[in-house]
A = this chain, B = another copy of it.
Amino acid sequence: MAAKPSIPKGTRDFGPLETARRNYIFDTVRGVFRTFGYSQIETPAMENLSTLLGKYGDEGDKLLFRILNSGDPFTGIDFESYRGEDGSFNAPALSGRLCDKGLRYDLTVPFARFVVQHQNELSFPFKRFQIQPVWRADRPQKGRYREFWQCDVDAIGSRSQLCELELVQIVDKVFSLLGVRVEVKVNNRKVLTGLAEVCGFPDRVVDITVAIDKLDKIGLDAVREELLSKGLTPEAVQVLEPVLTLQGDNASKLAVMRKVLAASEAGLKGLDELEELFGFIGSAGISAPVTVDLSLARGLNYYTGAIFEVKALDYQIGSICGGGRYDDLTGIFGLPGMSGVGISFGADRIYDVLTGLDKFPSEGAAGTRLLFANMGIAEAAYVLPVAAALRGEGIAVEVYPDSSKLKKQFDYADRKGIPFLSICGENEAASSQIRIKDLSSGTETVFSKDDIASMAALLK
């Protein structure tokens, strides 16, 4: 037992400072979500494996943390029957027998499950947010954890672009409150479908998008090469060319695309959606730049309309938010035809951005403001009602529990960053006074012990 204890790899402890900073992020997003009428829900950490399996692809299934059934799950299992002819175990089948629950892998599938299970209690469009940890048995590496927090906001049950607008407004408001300049990039899956259609390769959406994405890095000629190498004809590449060299503001980009996509119903529908969204953005007044970016390839296999990504402008890091519209989220659980749109805030990356840009508020305001030094039992009893009254004013106050050497008590104040110290001994008690020292300036102020208002004014 003497070995220093540790935690599972890929997991983290959050100490006082980290927790306060994480709460600052969560409280900020929560406050913004609330003003847009989104309600918070919470789902269990464990879901039935039948809810989770098959929703994240084969790779995702492997990354699920499975929970051993309670009781004695081994009894009655013929382990040898799970062994193949080559002697290897059929691990999924055996773990399926031993485990029927798994840890939440994301917040989207539990949300879909929640909506279907509680459909009769909800009013649609249902606007919810959810801030909870998720678990993935990924190989841990810098910035990638096995337990991490997602912060998802979704509106389900409406196809209106006003829902997309709200997400852009929410992103704009959150990062303006956090003091981080961001750019919101918008794409539309239907436009990408349209591009693949008009160049005659409707099944090459991913190849085309990936090539467009490389334009900045490798240049137009290399992108042409890549498209040809993927099997597109020179004619097809020529059709795409105006899109590859797209420039100017959103309106000019959309105008070029409207010409290119003239023959694609899906493409034109996607453009209509984008234009409606940008119309609303113009009306609502958004401070962050919002730009059309055809290279956004996020979630191509499940998003059906808008695709979003948010980048910090003053800090190098991957996208800090992402999301999009999905037309049939709840169909897998037996409730078809529910269109929704959502966005997820990446708490860890936002934390890194705020740290990197030094944008966290100082802890001072929320932490303990005043430490009453402990000069003995009688003196502690003297300051207790004063401490209680100051707390009643919302000020965080501590009374040091032991009458240790003053040096030790000073050190405690110092390490906790407590800005004011009060040393009240026999003399102060005899004269009904409270002496408070500002530890940064060294100034001492003496108050009547009943003058809580003046003490509060100094400490706030």
Binding site for B on A (CB under 8 A): 1-8, 11-16, 19-20, 22-23, 34-37, 39-48, 50-51, 62-63, 65-68, 70-75, 79-80, 82, 88-89, 91, 94-95, 98-101, 103, 113-114, 116-118, 121-123, 125, 127-128, 133, 135, 137, 146-147, 155, 158-160, 162-163, 165-166, 169, 173, 276, 279-280, 283-285, 332-334, 366-368, 371, 374, 377, 380-382, 384-385, 387-388, 391, 394-399, 401-402, 411-412, 415-416
Contacts and interface: CB of A to CB of B under 8 A. Distances in A.
Contacts of A158: 401-402
A80 B279 CA distance: 69
B40 A20 contact: yes
Contact of A332 (B1, B72, B367): B1
Contacts of A45: 11, 45, 103, 133, 135, 147
24 contacts: A1-B334, A4-B116, A4-B333, A5-B117, A5-B333, A7-B46, A8-B47, A11-B45, A13-B117, A35-B395, A35-B396, A37-B371, A37-B398, A44-B147, A46-B135, A62-B70, A63-B70, A67-B68, A73-B95, A74-B82, A75-B88, A279-B377, A279-B381, A280-B384
A125 to B, nearest CB: 6
A82 B118 CA distance: 44
Given A13-B118, A23-B40, A158-B402, 10 more contacts: A7-B43, A7-B47, A12-B44, A34-B396, A45-B45, A46-B65, A63-B70, A159-B402, A279-B381, A280-B381
A169 B388 contact: yes
B7 A401 contact: no
**Copies of the polypeptide in the assembly:** 2
Contacts of A133: 45
Nearest to A39: B16
A2 B334 contact: yes
Contacts of A71: 137
A341 B293 CA distance: 57
A276 B4 contact: no
B334 A396 contact: no
A257 to B, nearest CB: 21
Given A160-B402, A280-B380, A381-B283, A118 B15 contact: yes
A335 to B, nearest CB: 9
Contacts of A99: 68
A24 B309 CA distance: 33
Contact of A72 (B39, B91, B367): B91
A149 to B, nearest CB: 10
Summarize A's interface: helix, strand, loop or mixed: mixed
Nearest to A366: B34
Contacts of A89: 72, 74-75
A229 B169 CA distance: 73
Contacts of A367: 37, 39
Contacts of A23: 40
A44 B8 contact: yes
Contact of A391 (B36, B75, B95): B36
Given A35-B394, A68-B99, A334-B1, A48 B399 contact: no
A455 B397 CA distance: 39
Contacts of A19: 39-42
A19 B145 CA distance: 27
B155 A401 contact: yes
A68 B92 CA distance: 12
B65 A66 contact: no
Contact of A35 (B46, B284, B397): B397
A100 B121 CA distance: 40
A28 to B, nearest CB: 13
Contacts of A128: 16
Contact of A4 (B35, B91, B117): B117
Contacts of A415: 123
A40 B13 contact: no
A-B interface, 3 closest residue pairs, ranked by CB to CB distance from nearest: A16-B39, A70-B137, A11-B44
A411 B122 CA distance: 12
Nearest to A64: B70
A367 B123 CA distance: 14
